[in-house]
Amino acid sequence: MRSLVNNIINGYKTERDNSIIQIRSIASELGTVKYDSAANDSVAGSLNRLKIQSILNRYKGLKQKYMTQTQVQRSNSKQVDMYLVEIYKKYSIPFACVVFVLIGAPLGMITRKGGFGVAAGMSLGFFLLYWACLIGGEKLADRELLSPFLSMWVANIILGIAGIYLVFRDSLNIRRLFRSKRAINKEV
């Protein structure tokens, strides 16, 4: 997929560069035309006017071609970004299982005493946060405000950091618990 995208981009760059080179050559050709206002009515003046008109027409044609190429490139770039969003989404959603395990295990230990309602509410809250980040990221990538990779992985990054924090926090609590049990066992 990347090679196809790179081939499309490189093709447009070479076409754009060729158009720019042709426009510059036309501009330099226009600079070589000698226009004499005194000879305006003569045959040489008529030929100069025709030559200038021909050069200007070629310039307008190349300018229109360049503008069309730019519009096509923008359209294709947007379409490529949409496809990349879908590709990254296909990888980020399965990885969310790992992220939800990182969040779910510590939250299960924390909300054990709170009952089913607290656990269901917290899990629903994390799911809604993930879903909002995923949908919002997709919209930002479609508008080309955020890269497709970052837009699809930002939810996993945010919740993954929160999950790692919760795991380390609970692991410290478990170590304290085991230290206090050892102290009680030594006293007995």
DSSP assignment string, 152-180: HHHHHHHHHHHHHHHHHHHHHHHHHHHHH
Tokens 């045959």 correspond to what residue?
A: 43
Q: What mean pLDDT is predicted for residues 56-62?
A: 79
Residue 80's nearest CA partner among 147, 154, 155, 156 is 147
Structure token digits, residue 82: 């949409």
d(CA 89, CA 177): 40
Range of the domain at 81: 2-187
Q: In this structure, are residues 72 and 15 in contact, taking their beta carbons and an 8 Å threshold?
A: no
Q: What mean pLDDT is predicted for residues 143-151?
A: 90
Question: Residue 107, class by beta-carbon neighbours within 10 Å (0-12 exposed, 13-18 middle, 19+ buried)?
Answer: buried
Average pLDDT, the chain: 79
Q: What mean pLDDT is predicted for residues 45-58?
A: 74
Q: At what angle do helices 116-142 and 148-187 cross, to 10 degrees?
A: 150
Per residue in 96-116, pLDDT tens? 999 999 988 888 887 777 777
User: pTM above 0.85?
Assistant: no
Report the domain count for the chain: 1
Q: In this structure, are residues 33 and 52 in contact, taking their beta carbons and an 8 Å threshold?
A: yes
